[in-house]
Amino acid sequence: MTPQKQPVTAGVDTHGATHHAAVVDQVGRHLGDHEFPATASGYRHLMTWAKSFGEVQCVGVEGTGTFGAALTRVLLSHGLKVVEVDRPDRKLRRYRGKSDPTDAYAGTLAALSGRATATPKARSGVVESIRALRVVPRSAVKARTHRNVRSTSGSRRGQRLRWPLS
């Protein structure tokens, strides 16, 4: 008789350079947490690590549109169910403290309990193409405006400019 793999749920607290993952069983017992680099090989190691605890039913990812976007695409391409989780509320963070493992477990429990049900956006197709076309000119205008404000905020005849200008 082959042993059945237990169903598990994973959660990921995403950052720019690293992602912290946690895994719980179906009754919410903490099975493990680990930090992985936010790279293609790091994503593969994260999936392998999570699957070592059992059959992954769902992965709760914080920031599926920002730091976790690439991870979300990889998880979905491997057939895993991904839900977007919000960061823990401020009251909980004050009570338990702020740490990557705490946030990863909070995401895991949100996915397990069904509190997190939002399906991440695919970030593909016509809508994403239009967004990409709009972002570049908008960011160029912001950069130019910021540069102009900085260049006029220097000194004039030895006097520091004060806002608002009179």
- Are residues 72 and 120 in contact, defined by beta-carbon separation less than 8 angstroms? yes
What residue segments make up the domains of the chain, in order of their start? 7-113
Candidates 3.40.50.300, 1.10.1060.10, 3.30.420.40, 3.50.50.60; correct CATH number of 7-113? 3.30.420.40
- Are residues 20 and 37 in contact, defined by beta-carbon separation less than 8 angstroms? no
Tell me the per-residue pLDDT of 90-137, one tens digit each, with 9 for 90 and over: 666 666 667 888 888 988 898 998 887 777 766 666 766 676 677 667
pTM for the model: 0.69
| pLDDT values of the chain reduced to their tens digit, one per residue, 166 residues | 445 689 999 999 999 999 999 999 999 999 999 999 999 999 999 999 999 999 999 999 998 888 888 999 999 999 999 999 887 666 666 666 678 888 889 888 989 988 877 777 666 667 666 766 776 676 666 666 766 666 655 545 555 555 665 5
Cα–Cα distance list, 23 to 8, 70, 154 (Å) = 7, 20, 53
Under DSSP, the state recorded for 116 is -
